[in-house]
Amino acid sequence: MAKARRSSLTRLQSFLCFITLDMLGSIQDCTVQHTKQTEYVDWFMALPELMAFIAIIISRGLTKVPSMSDCWSVNLGYPQIIATMSRNRFKDIMRHLRFDDRDTRSERTKTDKFAAISAMWSSFVTNCITSYNPGRHITIAGQLFLSKTRCCFLQYVATKPDKFGIKFWVACDLKSKYICNVLPYLGKDPSRPSGERLSENVVLRLMEPFLDKRRNGTTDNFFTLLSLVQPLLRRKTTILGTVNKIRREIPQSSRQRDYNSPVPSCGAPTIASFA
């Protein structure tokens, strides 16, 4: 964290704390390799060009232009984007962009469903963890990111506004909303210990870098489990969250509700704090 603070004098330096030059170089190599093997032997993308491409994507998130193509239009175009790169070149890079070695992916996919981006993702998450010291309270939740990409771990959640997407488990600092740790949900995990619930495994993995420092994890009723209390307490960490009354460990007396009081829409959960 101290190194990140010393290195973050400009926006670019802050960005490079998370996406390092080594990571950018790897993306450059993988993209050029893929393009030469599949389409154009003499195709090349310089590192500054890749950084300009990423800058356009970030700028696009700050504008209110309806579509990506409109960023280069005469009437709706964004001057900084137009001056940075042509639309055709941007689309060309977008089409060929790769994050791993295509030649070894099929072998890696046998043990890693996230193989196409796993190495880059791991480096990014590690940088997120080491570049910031979160406060005492960390929140844990699931997040569905809109996507219709064809992959074996695509999720469909009927209750979400964007029903198709890739699900991530996320730990965020309560005050700053900074993403402290994040895991993709790839379906059944063979490495998960037998008898350990998915929700328990997720909380322990997300909180692992922040244990033994008297922090608290705040969760919803999917994650709040009695079986989590002792493992976390042994690591000087507490948990606070809503509790679903149908949990097996909830006493029968606590499941009886007062019919004179309103019932929350999620089925009468309560707030539990374990200290």
Helix (H, G, I), strand (E, B) or coil at 91: helix
Give the per-residue SS3 of 199-220.
Answer: HHHHHHHHHHHHCCCCEEEEEC
Q: Which of 237, 267, 262 is nearest to 250 (CA)?
A: 267
CATH number of 132-274, picked from 1.10.287, 3.30.1050, 1.10.3470, 3.30.420: 3.30.420
| Separation in Å, CA 250 to CA 67, 93, 195, 256, 272 | 50, 54, 19, 11, 11
Range with lowest mean pLDDT among 66-80, 82-96, 101-115, 130-144:
66-80
Mean pLDDT on 135-155: 89
pLDDT in tens, 165-192: 999 999 999 999 999 999 999 988 888 8
**Please, are residues 108 and 120 in contact by the beta-carbon 8 Å criterion?**
no
CA distance 53 to 158: 34
DSSP state at residue 122: H
pLDDT in tens, 9-35: 788 899 999 999 999 999 999 999 999
Report the Cα 44 to chain-centroid distance in Å. 30
Query: Looking at residue 172, what is its pLDDT?
Result: 96
This prediction's pTM? 0.83
**Please, are residues 145 and 189 in contact by the beta-carbon 8 Å criterion?**
no
Range picked from 22-26, 33-37, 57-61, 112-116 for highest mean pLDDT: 22-26
Looking at the chain, which residues constitute the CATH 3.30.420 domain(s)?
A: 132-274
| For residue 66, pLDDT beyond 50 | yes
Reported confidence tier of residue 2, pLDDT bands at 50, 70, 90: low
Report the Cα 42 to chain-centroid distance in Å. 35
Contacts of 166 (CB under 8 A, 6+ apart): 144, 145, 147, 149, 151, 153, 154, 155, 184, 185
CA distance 30 to 134: 34
What sign has the CA pseudo-torsion 28, 102, 119, 200? positive
CA distance 45 to 35: 10
What's at 55, amino acid-wise? Answer: A
Rounded to the nearest 5°, which phi and psi values hold at 171? -115, 120
pLDDT in tens, 68-85: 888 898 888 888 899 999
